[in-house]
Amino acid sequence: ATIRREDYQPPAWLVPETALHFTLGLDRTQVRSALQVRRNPAGDGSETLRLNGDGLVPAGVWIDGEETAEWTIDGSDLLLTLPGDAHEIGIATDIAPSANTQLMGLYASNGMLCTQCEAEGFRRITFFPDRPDVLSVYSVRMAGDKAAFPVLLSNGNCTASGDNADGTHWAEWHDPWPKPSYLFALVAGDLVANHDSFTTMSGRQVDLNIWVRDGDQDRTHHAMQALKDSMKWDEEVFGREYDLDLFNIVAVADFNMGAMENKGLNVFNTRYILADPDTATDMDYDGIEGVVAHEYFHNWSGNRVTCRDWFQLSLKEGFTVLRDQLFSQDMGSAAVKRIEDVRVLRAAQFPEDSGPLAHPIRPDSYQEISNFYTATVYNKGAEVIRMMRTMVGAERFRKATDLYFDRHDGQAATCEDFVKAIEDGAGADLGQFRLWYAQAGTPRVEARLSHADGVATLTLRQTVPPTPGQADKQAMVIPLRLALFDRSTGQHRGEELVILHEPQAEFSFAGFATRPVLSLNRGFSAPVAIDADQSNADLVFLAAHDDDPFARYEAMQQLVVQHLIALVSGGTLCAADRDAGREAIGQALAAVIDDPALDDLMRGELMILPGETYLGEQLLVADPAVIHAEREGLKAWLGAQLKDRLVALHHRASSVPYSLAAAARGARKIKTQALVYLAAGVPDVAAQLAAQQFDDADNMTDRQGALMVLAGLDTPLREVKLAAFHQRYAGNALVIDKWFSLQAGSLHPRVVDHVRALSQHPDFTLSNPNRVRALYMAFTAPHAFHADGGVGYRMIADLILALDPINPQTAARFVASLGRWRRIEPVRSALMRAELERIAAAPGLSKDTFEQVSKSLG
């Protein structure tokens, strides 16, 4: 059934208070609820109270203390007919956490009990109006075996606890802040904590705990530091203070997503908590800092102000992603963070926006809301709010977010409420800008610069491509930061912000004796695709001189994109042009390697070639094999051509001792970057250097980087080092995940065989989402996935079919890779489509997978 945004109705009944009583057990947990229900004056006056359920059978129902049989079941929901305005409803349910393989609701993970309720998991625990606009104050009592569950946690504060004579114990928790059911959490298990504390700006002392399995405490320090930094940053930058005396984080090994912002009790995938130099890469450290911040920031953008309905998901996710991005920019290199965020957007969101699953950041309809936790809602959602900030400026934006939090505190709000608060608080007109919430598809901006009589004229033309259900688009508001460089001085005379409102507009800039060089969409001020048709000479100039780090990166990328796209689309390029293109790229890359003014983190960014997916995006119909071959060919040429420089770079970086300081992280980044080029150009040299790096490594970044390179090479060292790595880290789940990923995503010609063998490895299991993603997400990266004959497609379809009955939410995530079929050359396209049809024909598909497959076949 399709749910539509326009059908929203306020709830007929509210639940100001909820009491829950849990008798805990892994195989069987009994839940007894007491809901104070009150007729909603803003509701439709219906006497029917709808309590959502999913897989539940009521073991008893009470109205005002009297057991009743006067209830009905509609689908999975429980319906009661209530006269009057106020009642207490009691319901008993029995659930089976260890049989819950979906990991939604209350489930067991390594002997502990934990919950995931967003978006609609609470209804798998007890019958309840499981919608985000029903806010309730929760009191929780839980009891369970003290040996199995020594730690008992829920939202808010622990108000009482005690032991029973029979070896069980109990705890009571109370959360004073009204919240929707998706923010409920409960954890019971044998856990130990890293304790710390934080004093807020008004002097409240907050106890902080990060709960993990015994033995993992020493791997929680980075997460704790990130939490304290986040708390301080949110006070300083957004004026947001924490509002409880306790903040708990629990790390769980079996988790569908990254983490969850439950009020006062965040639950995390272990991969976003556990780190030490021996087991976590620099990227892992950054991921932890970002996700800890993200979940903490939700306390205001999500919890204090929540969403009216799930169509408003970007209200909390887009805004919170922007907040975590700005935080990470402030904690490390702002330039590098911005480049990474754009790379993620282009790799994950642009393809979504140009494919069969395209949707606006505020969708109009869905079948299964879990399918809408997407790069569009999250990352494009963040870009849309970032554009508002760019247009009004950071200061007015802060005034506006203050107004938003103040105006909507305690409410379940909409995206419209947010935009209105920005308009009112910043004094801006965002009328037409609201189209960013409604229209899907990545706008394309064509930019042409002409020059005559000392005047440079920029002509901008926008088009928004059609997307499913949206054939015709209106012109968007596109803020573009730009600068015009004087070619002779290498300088520009100040950056400007031009705002394109129309399908087409011209902007004139006087006082240019010669034609300037255009630097457009600096800082990636708008999430659009730019076609500026720039010459290699202009791009080389910008790659060397642009003072905006993103623009400099972009010039480098564009230089390579233009070259490779010319090569793969038609072969009209003559040998001389190919050589000239390569030479330009080679010179630019050499300049990047040599530039003493660049820090190594930024140098590492500039050395990264555009990815195959992003290259494929540039073409209406792509041949992944040709893209792969040409990109590898260029890499090999560069590796051979710049061999001495790359070896020297590797050597120089190898002398920097391990630390988390930016310079040392930068050294590690370029070290592996150098190996990547050398592996393509001079594999023997690379194999020796990589084996050396592997053996010398005193940290995971170097070890993983070296192993990644070796995994793609045909050398006996490959097996030796892979086996050494596996042996060294046996039993460390997060590192074994890396071992799977490295092989599945490698450049080795026999990846398909490797993945098939790994799927039978004793360490592989379909029941752990991290492990499934480690093997198969890495595999859906272009190269091996698109192997001749469609074996890669078949493997992913087989995975989806096997995983769907176990964990539909995670299974459905793999459909998008096959859904790209319309943009792939005809032979592969037909094979991909056939696999989608095979999935569609399977009986008993989950809602999750059904929605994605049927939309992909569209």
Q: Which residues are catalytic, by number?
A: 295
Minimum distance, C-beta of residue 409 to ligand ARG, in the bound complex (Å): 19
Run of H or E including 324: helix 313-331
414 binds, among ligand ARG, Zn ion, none (CB under 5 to 8 A by kind): none
The Cα 593–Cα 642 span in angstroms is 10
Secondary element (H or E) of residue 786: none
Interaction partner, residue 118 (Zn ion, ligand ARG, none; CB < 5-8 Å by kind)? ligand ARG
- Residue whose CB is less far from ligand ARG, 317 or 546: 317
The interface partner of residue 373, options being Zn ion, ligand ARG, none and the CB cut-off 5 to 8 Å by kind, is ligand ARG
Binding partner of residue 116 among ligand ARG, Zn ion, none, CB under 5 to 8 Å per kind? ligand ARG
Give 198's strand partners.
Answer: 206
Instruction: Find the residue with minimal CB distance to ligand ARG.
Output: 257
Answer yes or no whether residue 116 interacts with ligand ARG by CB under 6 A.
Answer: yes
What would the x/- binding string for ligand ARG be over residues 606 to 635, using CB under 6 A? ------------------------------
CA dihedral in degrees (331, 274, 344, 317; nearest 10)?
-80
Q: Which is nearer to ligand ARG, 55 or 58 (CB)?
A: 55
Residue 121 or 523: which CB sits closer to Zn ion? 121
Given candidates 29, 256, 746, 810, which one binds ligand ARG under the rule CB under 6 A? 256
For residue 103, what are its two tokens? 């990991």
Q: How many CB atoms lie within 10 A of CB 91?
A: 23
Distance CA 117, CA 182 (A): 5
List the Cα angle 823/825/829 in 5-degree steps: 75
**Spatial separation of the C-alpha atoms in residues 676 and 412, rounded to whole Å:** 49
Give the shortest CB-371-to-ligand ARG separation in angstroms: 9
Q: Cβ 259 to ligand ARG, closest distance in Å?
A: 5
- Whether the CB-CB separation of 785 and 746 falls below 8 Å is answered with no
Q: Binders of ligand ARG among 206-245, rule CB under 6 A?
A: none
Question: Which one of the spans 250-258, 396-404, 436-444, 556-564 is the region binding ligand ARG (CB under 6 A)?
Answer: 250-258
Q: How many residues bind ligand ARG (CB under 6 A)?
A: 15
Task: Decide: 797 and 835 in contact? Cβ < 8 Å.
Answer: yes
Site string for ligand ARG, 306-325 (x = CB under 6 A): -----------x--------
Give the phi and the psi of residue 835 in degrees, each rounded to 5: -65, -40
Give the shortest CB-249-to-ligand ARG separation in angstroms: 13
Q: Tell me the HSE value of 631 on the side-chain side, using a 13 A CA sphere.
A: 22
Nearest to 722 by CA among 732, 730, 731, 711: 711
Structure tokens given for 798: 């087989």
Output the smallest distance, CB 317 to Zn ion, in A. Answer: 5
Q: Which stretch binds Zn ion (CB under 5 A): 110-118, 229-237, 318-326, 510-518?
A: 318-326
- Per residue, what are the HEC states of 391-452? HHCHHHHHHHHHHHHHHHCCCEECHHHHHHHHHHHHCCCCCHHHHHHHCCCCCEEEEEEEEE
Residue 374 makes contact with ligand ARG by CB under 6 A:
no
Place of tokens 């993983």: 704
Q: How far is the CB of 294 from ligand ARG (least distance, A)?
A: 6
Question: Which of 23, 29, 87, 38 lies closest to 61 in space, CA to CA?
Answer: 87
Phi and psi at residue 560, to the nearest 5°: -75, -40
Least spacing, CB of residue 183 vs Zn ion, in Å: 12
- Among 152, 250, 257, 520, contact with ligand ARG (rule: CB under 6 A): 257
Site membership for ligand ARG, residue 417 (CB under 6 A): no
Q: Does 341 bind ligand ARG (CB under 6 A)?
A: no
**Partner in contact with 119, chosen from ligand ARG, Zn ion, none, beta carbon below 5 to 8 Å by kind:** ligand ARG
The footprint of ligand ARG on residues 793-822 (CB under 6 A) is 809
Instruction: Report the residue count for the chain.
Output: 858
Segment contacting ligand ARG (CB under 6 A): 253-261, 524-532, 574-582, 722-730? Answer: 253-261
Residue 359 or 833 having the CB closest to Zn ion: 359
Between 234 and 317, whose beta carbon lies closer to ligand ARG?
Answer: 317
CB of 188 within 8 A of CB of 113? yes
305 binds, among ligand ARG, Zn ion, none (CB under 5 to 8 A by kind): none
Q: Which is nearer to ligand ARG, 32 or 771 (CB)?
A: 771
- As beta bridge partners, residue 105 has 116
Q: Which is nearer to ligand ARG, 295 or 617 (CB)?
A: 295
Closest CA to 470 of 563, 364, 394: 364
Angle between helices 394-408 and 415-426 (to 10 degrees): 130
Residue type for position 384: V
Q: Which is closer to ligand ARG, CB of 21 or CB of 316?
A: 316
By CB under 6 A, is residue 261 in contact with ligand ARG? yes
Tokens for 840? 């569609």
Q: How far apart are CA 150 and CA 188, in angstroms?
A: 7
- Binding ligand ARG (rule: CB under 6 A), the pick from 114, 187, 227, 260 is 260
Q: Which residues of this protein are in contact with Zn ion, per CB under 5 A?
A: 317, 320
Q: Which residues of this protein are in contact with ligand ARG, per CB under 6 A?
A: 116, 118-119, 256-261, 294-295, 317, 370, 373, 809
